[in-house]
């Protein structure tokens, strides 16, 4: 806080790149607001990433945290405040490295703005709550223009993965074929890590698995551009006469379908909630319920 807070500094100086007070915070109320968000972020890092040193924060942690917040549908104003606070954290850490360690270390948290812009553009943030499941996810996937994004969407829809868990997949993460005991169907296994380092299996259809395996064999890895994927998905939704809900809408479809599959297999409602929650890498089964309204 001491790196960026200076009570009463003039706005003209705070926006002047050549002034010592550039990017400083002058208001106690604003600083308190940023500090509250920082504390929440730091607690998240400690709980999910086992990190208790702010200097170790990277863009990966910023991405995961903002995706984590978006999943619970904050208001647009709150997400904007989170983005602004993380931007000031970037300034503070850069200043701290220079003034305390005498190091010219740069932090880059610009991904926060990319995620914020995408969330606003795709209406992922709102003051009201509504179901975000797509009416016809298969049609949306079909209407994607880029094959690699069709593959990404298929993995999210079939396996319930977050975008952070499928943005980069290597051959080591492909663990072969197994029988899904819930449906008694053969599924391909992708091992991934998401939301604070939580690891686990993502089960996809054999066709999707084979396409992914072949793509990685040809290119060395599966990697998508998040922003271009969002844009392609948005146009596919519009062509399909669907309201764009982002890639997270595909997780809603997964949750609904998977709950039905567990019910057909004879599991109780609460058992199904727990299993679907685990597959979606949530801690509490009750979180799954908000996908079912």
Residue where a domain stops, chosen among 70, 87, 121: 121
**263 and 148 part of one domain:** yes
**Average pLDDT estimate for 272-285:** 77
- Which residue segment(s) compose the domain that 47 sits in? 11-121
Count how many residues are written for the chain.
293
Q: Which of 51, 86, 121 is the last residue of a domain?
A: 121
Q: What percent of the chain has pLDDT over 90?
A: 42
Domain count, the chain: 2
CATH number of the domain encompassing residue 180? 1.10.443.10
**pLDDT (0 to 100) of residue 127:** 45
Residue 144 neighbours by CB under 8 Å, 6+ apart = 150, 153, 232, 233, 236
Q: Is residue 260 part of a domain?
A: yes
Q: Are residues 162 and 271 in the same domain?
A: yes
**Order of strands, sheet of 198-205, starting from the edge strand that comes earlier in the sequence:** 174-180, 185-194, 198-205
Residue 112 and residue 153 share a domain: no
| Candidate from 7-16, 27-36, 48-57, 74-83 with smallest mean pLDDT | 7-16
d(Cα 176, Cα 65) in Å, to the nearest integer?
A: 31
Q: Average pLDDT in the 75-96 region?
A: 90
198-205/168-169 β-pairing: unpaired
Are 57 and 142 members of one domain?
A: no
Q: What pLDDT shows up at residue 180?
A: 93
DSSP designation for 3: T
Please say whether the beta carbons of 189 and 177 come within 8 A: yes
- pLDDT-based confidence at residue 227 (cuts at 50, 70, 90): confident
Q: Is there a domain that residue 263 lies in?
A: yes
Q: Are residues 248 and 215 in the same domain?
A: yes
pLDDT value of residue 128: 47
Q: Is 76 exposed, middle or buried (0-12, 13-18, 19+ CB in 10 A)?
A: middle
For residues 90 and 47, membership in a common domain is answered with yes
Q: Within a domain: residue 128?
A: no
Contact 133, 291 (CB under 8 A): yes
- How far is the C-alpha of 223 from the C-alpha of 215, rounded, in Å? 10
Domain contains 2:
no
Give the model confidence (pLDDT) of 173-182 as tens digits. 999 999 999 9
Residue 158 shares a structural domain with residue 283? yes
pLDDT tens track for 237-264:
999 999 888 888 898 899 899 999 999 9
pTM score above 0.85? no
Q: Is residue 262 part of a domain?
A: yes
């Amino acid at each position: 806080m001491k790196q960026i807070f200076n009570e009463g500094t003039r706005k003209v100086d705070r926006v002047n790149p050549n002034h010592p007070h550039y990017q400083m915070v002058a208001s106690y109320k604003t600083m308190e607001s940023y500090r509250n968000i920082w504390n929440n972020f730091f607690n998240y890092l400690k709980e999910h990433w086992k990190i208790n040193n702010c200097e170790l924060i990277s863009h990966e942690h910023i991405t995961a945290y903002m995706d984590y917040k978006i999943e619970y549908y904050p208001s647009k104003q709150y997400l904007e405040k989170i983005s602004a606070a993380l931007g000031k954290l970037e300034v503070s850490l850069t200043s701290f490295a220079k003034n305390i360690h005498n190091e010219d270390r740069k932090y880059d948290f610009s991904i926060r703005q990319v995620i914020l812009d995408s969330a606003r553009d795709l209406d992922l943030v709102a003051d009201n709550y509504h179901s975000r499941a797509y009416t016809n996810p298969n049609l949306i996937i079909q209407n994607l223009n880029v094959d690699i994004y069709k593959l990404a969407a298929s993995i999210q829809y079939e396996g319930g993965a977050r975008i952070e868990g499928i943005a980069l997949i290597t051959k080591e993460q492909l663990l072969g074929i197994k029988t899904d005991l819930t449906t008694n169907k053969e599924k391909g296994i992708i091992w991934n890590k998401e939301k604070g380092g939580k690891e686990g299996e993502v089960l996809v259809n054999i066709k999707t698995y084979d396409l992914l395996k072949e793509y990685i064999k040809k290119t060395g890895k599966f990697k998508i551009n998040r922003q271009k994927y969002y844009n392609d998905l948005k146009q596919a939704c519009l062509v399909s006469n669907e309201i764009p809900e982002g890639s997270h809408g595909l997780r809603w479809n997964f949750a609904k379908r998977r709950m039905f599959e567990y019910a057909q297999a004879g599991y109780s409602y609460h058992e199904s909630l727990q299993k679907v929650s685990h597959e979606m890498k949530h801690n509490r089964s009750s979180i799954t319920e908000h996908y079912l309204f």
